[in-house]
Each structure stands twice: as C-alpha cells, then as structure tokens.
Amino acid sequence: MWDDLRRHHEAVKDRPILSLFETDPDRAARFSVRLGDLLLDWSKTNIDDEGRRLLLRLLDDARVADRREAMFAGARINETENRAVLHTALRNLDGGPVMVDGQDVMPGVRETLARMERFAAAVRDGREAGPGGRYADVVNIGIGGSDLGPKMAALALAPYADGPRTHFVSNVDPADIADVLRACDPARTLVIVASKTFTTQETMANAATARAWLAEHVADPAAQFVALSSALDRTAAFGIPPERVFGFEDWVGGRYSVWGPIGLSLMIAIGPEAFRAFLRGGQAMDLHFRSAPWEENLPALLALVGIWHNQICGHATRAVLPYDNRLMRLPAYLQQLEMESNGKGVAMDGSPLAVHSGPIVWGEPGTNGQHAFYQLIHQGTRIVPCEFLVAAQGHEEGLEHQHRLLIANCLAQSEALMRGRSLEEARRIMAARGLTGAELERQARHRVFPGNRPSVTIAYPRLDPFTLGQIIALYEHRVFVEGVVLGINSFDQWGVELGKELANALAPMVAGTQDTAGKDGSTAGLVAFLRMQGA
Ligand SMILES: O=P(O)(O)OC[C@H]1O[C@](O)(CO)[C@@H](O)[C@@H]1O
C-alpha cells in the first residue's frame, strides 16, 4: 500500500493543486467534511480521488476500526505500559458503561466530576476560601500534560472566565514560579498541584517552593493546597488530605488528561457548566469518530492528509496556524499531544518503523506569524504543509470589522500558498514599475512564489467551550489514527526518560557535591564553567 501511494505521488507531484479545482468544480465540497458547524476543508492539497482511495485503504490495512473499538472498549492497547486508554470515558457523560477488567469505570468518573464541580463552585462563590477571604488567584503547578491542556484551554476560553484568576507554573526555572507568586496574595491563593505520578521533578520542586511561600504568610498552608493525581499515597505523603485530592486512573494519559481532574483549574475559571459544554464537544467528536464512515470521518481524514504530506511527500514538519489569538498555546499543546504520542522509532512489536514517525509540529497564531516565518513558508526551499484554524466570529462586540480582516488574512494565506505567483507575472509587475533588462529579470525572480503548497483549513462559528472540546478531541483521534497506521504505540513516552535520569545524576555534580568523573569532556567542561560562574 505504501508503494502504491508513493507511485501515485510520483505521478502527481508536479501537478498544480489549483488545476484540480479547474477540472472539478465540486472539489471544494467533495474534499470537505463537516461535523455540525465544524468544517474541515482539505481540498487545497494535491490529493485526488485516487490518492484518497489509496489513503483510505491504509485504514483497512492497519485495522484502524478494530483498534478504535478496542480503545473505546477499555482494552489494554497501551501495550508497553499494559494500560487501557480511556480519556474518552471522561467525557462519556450520558453514554453507557465502560468496562476495564470487568468493572464499569463510569460511576467513578461521574463521582469525581461531581466532586470537582462541587469544589469548583465553592471556590468560585467563596464558600471555599483562604484566610484572607475568597480566592483571588489559583496557581496550577504541573508540567507537560498536567499544564499544557488546562493552560491552553484557559487562554482559549478567556471570554468565559468569570472565576478567580488562574496562573500556570510549569518550568523548574525558579523564574516561572517567582513571577507568578509575586503577583498573588498568599492569603487568597489556592495552589493546585497537578501531577499524575506526583514524582515529576519540576512539579515537586515548584510545589515545595509554593508551600514554603505560603508557610511564610499563613498559619495553615496545607489547607490551601489541592492535588490532582493518580498517586494517592504520594499526595498523602506531601501532606494533602484525601478529601482535597482529585484522583484519576492510569488509563488517562498525561497529554489526554485535560478532560478530568487535571482540568480543575479550567473548571474553576470558566465554571462547571461551561466545563461540561467542553466535555460535550469532546463527546460529540467521539461519537462522530466511532460512527462516521471513514470518507466523512474528520479525525481519520485529518490523519490521512498528514500521512500523505509526511510519510508520502516527505514534508517533515507541519505548521499549525490558528487565526484565533486565544489559541496561542494550541501549537505547544499539540507539540506534546502529537510528538510525544507519535515521535517513536519502533513499531508496537519493537521492530524499526518502516516509515517515518509523526511530523514535527510547530506554529504561532496568525496574523503574527505572517510577519515572521511565513516568508519561508511561501518561498523557502522546503515545503511546510499548513493547518489553518479560523472562527467566523470573535467575542469582541463592535470590532467585527477587525475580525473580518483576520478571516481575510487567513484565507489569503492558504490561497497564496496554493496559487503562488509565476515568473511571467512577476516580470509584468516589474515592467509596470518601469524596470527593464537584467534588473527587471533579477528583481522579478525575487518576487516569484512557487505556489502549489498544501494546506487544510478548520473553520467553526466561534471558539466556545463546546467547539474547543470538538477541536481537541479531533486532534486526539487524529493522533490515534496516525499511530495505528504507522504501527506506533501512541500512548507511552519512553523517549523522555533518559534525559530525566541524566538530570537526576547531574544535579549533585552541578551542586558540587559529586565530581564529574565518567562524564564526557563537553558535559564535564560545561559543569565546570557554570560552577565557576556561580552555579
Ligand atoms: O503529570 P506528571 O506525572 O507530573 O507528568 C507530567 C508529564 O511528564 C511526562 O510524563 C513526560 O515528560 C508527560 O507525559 C506528562 O504529561
């Protein structure tokens, strides 16, 4: 199948994408899919009917439908950690039972959600307060999946935030926590320690710093702590009583955890009702993913477009470009979701991967990116497939004209990438400016846009909690499909372990309590230099 796709790509690779619209007036409709008001337009790619047919066959070859059902049914599809993968259960609000090892997990999920809702409501209305009164600030301390999801979503849903201010501390760099705590009143600050394992070095260091900060100012610092974790023994050892711990099971992966307790800071910010709407959006995408035929299935199609661009066309990166400023942290969130999930070199059985792993994901919101890296996207020698996200409406009343400018810019970019500008056109422009001869030719060449650069666009009415839920679940399932097709286990993350181990080994060397014997010359030299400079 991969060979068929590669042959097909060879045959079509120089064909202008624009020509596909000329030969097929229905192309935009035939290469777009909708789920309710969410639209995925993948027509500005070089995938034609034959390409689509071959790509869809990958799903059958990899038995994606079976794997999908195994995931939803609670099978231990995370084989290297022997775990089920059930973040979908967290948003299975009124669905049926979900069995793990013969036990329905839904009563526990509902109970934890209800506890979170009671707690969030109490924080918001002041029944749960600090010694100085109603909480004004909530500080979420966590990293990776225990930070990126709630942080991204809290920013995305800022127009719905009517609770206390939320802050996110993740980096072990003390600058991070110092900058946040400086702005908070200790007597009115709630600290949420979010860590699935409750062992993560950065989070534990920041939690200890927050505790020391509170201890300096209040009589009972522990009363202002909450933990979100699946390690209840460790949260107890830290001094957080069980009634202030929101637990979750090992079948919720860190980067898939925003839907459960890890989303508590978001729930406090936007309120339980809006949080439920977020869950409903995720659930709507789950139902679609499970029931829509592959040719109309948004996550599956998004995954296949990605596979076409990365594994078949050889474009190693993908830019995520939200024309929605509050999705500013979406690229960072997706970097963990996609690259920690599908950045693997071996297949499930341990054999080397037959094709490249998932793409390098990066991006920034438009229009800012236009004035930074779009130069390379338009004229650089490497092709960067782009993913645009755009809302029909913003939240800023009276500024609709500005929002329309945002939309125009978004659409202009995908059009420019596809259309490009030929040398003849560039020559005409230079001639109209009065240039002639060699100078005309030289200047014209700088103004050529090769075009034929692919993109997809995800459009929606407005970035509300439900829509954000749909978008995040869309990306989650896209990663799942891509992982199954590539033969990867998308749910472990062994690649982060070595650095953690070495950091622990280096810590005493940096502190000067152990020598650097056995380290390579560069590492030992850097330790010596930094110690000499006062480390
Ligand atoms: O929630 P924890 O256990 O502190 O882990 C934080 C993050 O660390 C990782 O395990 C790897 O760095 C992520 O997968 C996870 O989201």
All domains of the chain in start order, with CATH: 2-73+278-412+454-492 (3.40.50.10490), 87-270 (3.40.50.10490), 420-452 (no CATH), 497-533 (1.10.1390.10)
Say whether 32 sits in a helix, a strand or coil. Answer: strand
Q: Is the CB of 196 under 6 A from ligand 1?
A: yes
Q: Does residue 381 have a cis bond before it (omega within 30 degrees)?
A: no
Tokens of 487: 């033969």
Q: Please indicate whether residue 340 is annotated as part of the active site.
A: yes
Q: Please indicate whether residue 500 is annotated as part of the active site.
A: yes
Of the residues 340, 387, 476, 482, which is catalytic? 340
Q: How far is the CA of 342 from the centre of ligand 1 (A)?
A: 16
Tokens of 141: 């301390």
The whole-angstrom separation of Cα 363 and Cα 88 is 27
List phi, psi (to 5°) of 12: -110, -5
The whole-angstrom separation of Cα 147 and Cα 152 is 8
Q: Above 90 in pLDDT, residue 484?
A: yes
Q: Is the CB of 496 under 6 A from ligand 1?
A: yes
Q: Is the CB of 229 under 6 A from ligand 1?
A: no
Q: Alpha-carbon dihedral of residues 292, 298, 300, 301, nearest 10 degrees?
A: 120
Tokens of 312: 């078949």
User: What is the reported pLDDT for 95?
Assistant: 81
Average pLDDT, the chain: 97
List phi, psi (to 5°) of 533: -85, 5
Region 220-233 average pLDDT: 95
Q: Above 90 in pLDDT, residue 399?
A: yes
Q: Which residue has the tokens 């060449």?
A: 445
Q: How far is the CA of 140 from the centre of ligand 1 (A)?
A: 14
Q: How far is the CA of 145 from the centre of ligand 1 (A)?
A: 6
Tell the burial category of 154 from Cβ atoms under 10 Å away from its Cβ (0-12, 13-18, 19+). Answer: buried
Q: Is the CB of 167 under 6 A from ligand 1?
A: no
Q: Above 90 in pLDDT, residue 508?
A: yes
List phi, psi (to 5°) of 245: -115, 130
Say whether 13 sits in a helix, a strand or coil. Answer: coil
User: What is the reported pLDDT for 420?
Assistant: 98
Q: Report residue 1's pLDDT band, with 50, 70 and 90 as the boundaries.
A: confident
Q: Whose CA is nearest to atom 4 of ligand 1?
A: 195
Taking the CA atoms of 342, 344, 347 and 352 in sequence, report the sign of the dihedral they define.
Answer: positive
Q: What is the largest CA-CA distance in the chain?
A: 82
Q: What angle do CA 15, 21, 27 make, to 5 degrees?
A: 115
Amino acid present at 423: L
pLDDT tens per residue, range 94-135: 889 999 989 999 999 999 999 999 999 999 999 999 999 999
How do 38-41 and 455-460 pair as beta strands? antiparallel
CB neighbours of residue 373 within 10 Å:
17
Given a contact cutoff of 8 angstroms between Cβ atoms, the answer to whether 304 and 56 are in contact is yes
Tell the burial category of 399 from Cβ atoms under 10 Å away from its Cβ (0-12, 13-18, 19+). Answer: exposed
DSSP state letter for 359:
P
Q: Whose CA is nearest to atom 12 of ligand 1?
A: 496
The distance from CA 7 to its chain's CA centroid, rounded to whole angstroms, is: 32
| DSSP labels, 484-513 | HHHT--TT--GGGHHHHHHHHHHHHHHHTS
pLDDT tens per residue, range 463-482: 999 999 999 999 999 999 99
Tell the burial category of 265 from Cβ atoms under 10 Å away from its Cβ (0-12, 13-18, 19+). Answer: buried
Region 257-266 average pLDDT: 98
Of the residues 22, 371, 446, 497, which is catalytic? 371
The whole-angstrom separation of Cα 76 and Cα 477 is 17
The whole-angstrom separation of Cα 481 and Cα 187 is 47
Region 31-36 average pLDDT: 98
HSE (side-chain half, CA atoms, 13 Å) at 207:
27
User: What is the reported pLDDT for 503?
Assistant: 96
The whole-angstrom separation of Cα 202 and Cα 171 is 6
Q: Which residue has the tokens 């939320």?
A: 166
Tokens of 144: 């990776």
Tokens of 181: 């705590």
Q: Above 90 in pLDDT, residue 247?
A: yes
Region 498-515 average pLDDT: 96
Q: Whose CA is nearest to atom 7 of ligand 1?
A: 144
DSSP state letter for 163:
S
Tokens of 374: 């779009």
Q: Is the CB of 490 under 6 A from ligand 1?
A: no
Q: Is the CB of 254 under 6 A from ligand 1?
A: yes
The whole-angstrom separation of Cα 388 and Cα 320 is 6
β strands within 172-298, DSSP E: 189-194, 225-229, 245-247
The whole-angstrom separation of Cα 295 and Cα 273 is 34
Given a contact cutoff of 8 angstroms between Cβ atoms, the answer to whether 528 and 520 are in contact is no
The whole-angstrom separation of Cα 98 and Cα 92 is 9
Q: Is the CB of 145 under 6 A from ligand 1?
A: yes
pTM exceeds cut of 0.95 = yes
Tokens of 320: 């995520």
Q: Is the CB of 140 under 6 A from ligand 1?
A: no
User: What is the reported pLDDT for 94?
Assistant: 85
CB neighbours of residue 129 within 10 Å:
17
Which of 78, 197, 342, 494 to mutate for ligand 1's pocket (most ligand atoms within 8 Å of CB)?
A: 197
Q: Please indicate whether residue 371 is annotated as part of the active site.
A: yes
ipTM of the complex, rounded to two decimals = 0.98
